[in-house]
Amino acid sequence: MFERVLEAEVMDSAEEALAYDAMDHSAVNLAFSQDVLLACQQLAIGPAGDYLDLGTGTALIPIQFCQLAENTRVMAVDAATHMLDLARNNVSVAGLNERIRVANVDAKDLPFESASHDHVFSNSIVHHIPEPIDALREAWRVLAPGGLMFIRDLLRPSSAEACRQLVETYAGQETDYQQKLFADSLHAALTVDEMRELVAEFAAPPETVQATSDRHWTWAMQKPE
């Protein structure tokens, strides 16, 4: 068993933020945004409305999502100030200041009212949190009934060798430091079974959590009315 090893909860150095922003996330971000819209379609949920993005990093996913989906607005939050400095610049350059708001917020203690957001999505925040249920409870609390919960994160590999192969495949052209960031994140990630155990608290059927690539799981569910 490849045991979970925690990494830093907040990537809050200028070096980490710049290294993360410099990595090529374009294909992953596009797939994520398209999959959110596909989940809305499959669940017969109108995709327009106000979204909350937990752990936005440098806001590349909200930018991609708003470019794909009209009549959407995103509150993009993160606990890392250096990430958010880059996020604000990225949003401005994309010309999306009217649709994307950026805020320094702890996902485990959201300053929003219950049921205040039409939809909630997040990519790769869960593996940063020592007790992920804390953030999941907050995400569920602020999600409006009938809205989409779409959480995706890395899938912890089964062995050190499998981890090494994933790093080589998906970060082999990156710097040594960027490769280490990816390897540490894989090591800190949850398995599908671990995630299913957590979301059972919200009466989520196990099949709402699925492995959706060789390195990701996804929890996609409509909150009951």
- Name which residue leads in pLDDT, 174 or 87: 87
- Name which residue leads in pLDDT, 13 or 47: 47
Residue 32 corresponds to which tokens in the numbers above? 């994520």
Number of H helices, E strands in the chain: 8, 7
The answer to the question of residue 3 being in a domain is no
Rounded CA-CA distance 208/188 in Å is 22
The answer to the question of residue 8 being in a domain is no
Of the pLDDT bands very low, low, confident and very high (cuts 50, 70, 90), residue 23 is: low
Over residues 145-157, mean pLDDT = 98
The answer to the question of residue 134 being in a domain is yes
Q: Which of 206, 198, 166, 202 is nearest to 184 (CA)?
A: 166
Task: Give the pTM.
Answer: 0.92
Percentage of the chain modeled with pLDDT above 90: 85
The answer to the question of residue 2 being in a domain is no
Instruction: Look at the chain and report how many structural domains it folds into.
Output: 1
Which pLDDT score, from 0 to 100, does residue 88 have? 97
Print the domain residue range for 26: 14-222
The answer to the question of residue 5 being in a domain is no
Rounded CA-CA distance 2/187 in Å is 8
Q: Which of 187, 169, 167 is nearest to 177 (CA)?
A: 167
Which pLDDT score, from 0 to 100, does residue 12 have? 62
Which pLDDT score, from 0 to 100, does residue 197 have? 98
The answer to the question of residue 170 being in a domain is yes
Over residues 53-72, mean pLDDT = 96
Which pLDDT score, from 0 to 100, does residue 10 have? 66
The answer to the question of residue 178 being in a domain is yes
For 65, the enclosing helix (H) or strand (E) is helix 60-68
The answer to the question of residue 22 being in a domain is yes
Q: Residue 153 belongs to a domain with what CATH number?
A: 3.40.50.150
Which of 45-49, 102-106, 174-178, 180-184 is the least confident region?
Answer: 174-178
pLDDT beyond 70 at 21: no
pLDDT beyond 70 at 13: no
